[in-house]
Amino acid sequence: MESNRKRTSDWWRTSTVYQVYPKSFKDTTGRGTGDIRGLIEKLDYIKNLGIDIVWLQPVYVSPQNDNGYDVADYYNIDPAFGTMEDFDELVHQLKKRDMYLMIDIVVNHSSTEHRWFKEARSSRDNPYRDYYIWRDPAEDGGPPNNWQSKFGGSAWQYDEGTGQYFLTLFDKTQADLNWENEKVREEVVKLLTFWAEKGVDGFRLDVINLISKDQDFPDDDGTVPPGDGRRFYTDGPRVHEYVKELNEKVFTPFNLVTVGEMSSTTLEHCIRYSNPQEKEFSMTFNFHHLKVDYLNGQKWELKPYDFEELKSVLSEWQTGMQKGGGWNALFWNNHDQPHALTRFTDDGEYREESAKMLATTLHGLQGTPYVYQGEEIGMPDPKWNDISEYRDIETLNMYKILIENGKTPEEAAHIVSVRSRDNSRLPMLWDDSDQAGFTTGEPWIKIDERYLVINAKAQTEDPDSIYHHYRKLIELRKKLPILIHGQYIRLDDKHPHVYAYARVTSEEMLIVVSNFSREEALFNFPQEISARLHHARSTELLISNMEDNLVLSPSVRIQPFGSYMWLIQDDKE
Ligand code: GLC
- In this prediction, residue 29 carries a pLDDT of 98
Query: Tens of pLDDT along 517-572?
Result: 999 999 999 999 999 988 899 999 999 999 988 999 999 999 999 999 999 998 86
Which ligand 1 atom is at minimum distance from the Cα of 106? 12
Other C-beta atoms closer than 10 Å to the C-beta of 115 total 11
- In this prediction, residue 62 carries a pLDDT of 98
- In this prediction, residue 225 carries a pLDDT of 87
CATH 2.60.40.1180 residue ranges of the chain are 486-570
- In this prediction, residue 4 carries a pLDDT of 64
Q: How far is the CA of 148 from the centre of ligand 1 (A)?
A: 16
Half-sphere exposure of residue 415: CA atoms within 13 angstroms, side-chain side: 24
Q: What is the 3-state secondary structure (H, E, C) of 148-162?
A: ECCCCCECEEEECCC
Query: Tens of pLDDT along 42-64?
Result: 999 999 999 999 999 999 999 99
The strand pairing partners of 165, in sequence order, are 135, 158
Q: What is the 3-state secondary structure (H, E, C) of 90-128?
A: HHHHHHHCCCEEEEEECCCEEECCCHHHHHHHHCCCCCC
Collect contacts of 296-302 with beta carbons under 8 A, ≥24 apart: 296/225, 297/225, 297/226, 298/226, 299/419, 300/398, 300/401, 300/402, 300/415, 300/419, 301/415, 302/415, 302/418, 302/419
Query: Is any ligand 1 atom within 6 A of the Cβ of residue 207?
Result: yes
Residue nearest ligand 1's atom 9 by CA:
336
Active-site positions read 206, 261
Amino acid at 433: S
Letter string b/e over residues 521-530, b meaning 16 or more CB atoms within 10 A of that residue's CB: bebbbeeebe
- Edge to edge, the sheet with strand 134-135 lists 134-135, 164-167, 156-159
What gap in Å lies between CA 176 and CA 156, rounded to an integer? 10
- In this prediction, residue 571 carries a pLDDT of 82
Query: Is any ligand 1 atom within 6 A of the Cβ of residue 106?
Result: yes
Chain centroid, CA 488 distance in Å: 22
pLDDT in tens, the chain (573 residues): 456 667 677 889 999 999 999 999 999 999 999 999 999 999 999 999 999 999 999 999 999 999 999 999 999 999 999 999 999 999 999 999 999 999 999 999 999 999 999 999 999 999 999 999 999 999 999 999 999 999 999 999 999 999 999 999 999 999 999 999 999 999 999 999 999 999 999 999 999 999 999 999 999 999 998 999 999 999 999 999 999 999 999 999 999 999 999 999 999 999 999 999 999 999 999 999 999 999 999 999 999 999 999 999 999 999 999 999 999 999 999 999 999 999 999 999 999 999 999 999 999 999 999 999 999 999 999 999 999 999 999 999 999 999 999 999 999 999 999 999 999 999 999 999 999 999 999 999 999 999 999 999 999 999 999 999 999 999 999 999 999 999 999 999 999 999 999 999 999 999 999 999 999 999 999 999 999 988 899 999 999 999 988 999 999 999 999 999 999 998 865
C-alpha dist (Å) from residue 357 to 362, 374, 498: 9, 16, 11
| Phi/psi at 555 (5° precision) | -135, 125
Other C-beta atoms closer than 10 Å to the C-beta of 494 total 10
What gap in Å lies between CA 344 and CA 416, rounded to an integer? 17
C-alpha dist (Å) from residue 259 to 20, 103, 105: 15, 10, 10
The strand pairing partners of 488, in sequence order, are 503
Burial class (CB in 10 A: 0-12, 13-18, 19+), 400: middle
- Check: CB of residue 258 under 8 Å from CB of residue 250: no
What gap in Å lies between CA 555 and CA 526, rounded to an integer? 9
Nearest residue to 497 via CA among 430, 556, 433, 571: 556
- In this prediction, residue 3 carries a pLDDT of 63
Other C-beta atoms closer than 10 Å to the C-beta of 44 total 11
Q: Which helix (DSSP H) or strand (DSSP E) does residue 402 occupy?
A: helix 393-404
- Check: CB of residue 205 under 8 Å from CB of residue 107: yes
Amino acid at 172: K
Sort residue 199 into left (φ over 0), alpha (ψ -120 to 50) or beta: left
Residue nearest ligand 1's atom 5 by CA:
69
For CA atoms 498, 509, 356, 102, the dihedral sign is negative
Query: Is any ligand 1 atom within 6 A of the Cβ of residue 170?
Result: yes
Burial class (CB in 10 A: 0-12, 13-18, 19+), 245: middle
What gap in Å lies between CA 167 and CA 411, rounded to an integer? 31
What is residue 235's three-state secondary structure? coil
Which CATH number does the domain 486-570 belong to among 2.60.40.10, 2.40.50.140, 3.90.1150.10, 2.60.40.1180? 2.60.40.1180
CATH 3.90.400.10 residue ranges of the chain are 109-176
- 109-176 fold: Oligo-1,6-glucosidase; domain 2 (3.90.400)
What gap in Å lies between CA 412 and CA 399, rounded to an integer? 6
Which ligand 1 atom is at minimum distance from the Cα of 334? 8
- Check: CB of residue 245 under 8 Å from CB of residue 187: no
What is residue 341's three-state secondary structure? helix
Candidate of 20, 103, 336, 420 to mutate for ligand 1, largest count of ligand atoms within 8 Å of Cβ? 336
Candidate of 66, 204, 211, 424 to mutate for ligand 1, largest count of ligand atoms within 8 Å of Cβ? 66
Q: How far is the CA of 207 from the centre of ligand 1 (A)?
A: 7
Q: How far is the CA of 60 from the centre of ligand 1 (A)?
A: 14
Query: Is any ligand 1 atom within 6 A of the Cβ of residue 66?
Result: yes
What gap in Å lies between CA 179 and CA 65, rounded to an integer? 23
Nearest residue to 280 via CA among 344, 324, 314, 341: 324
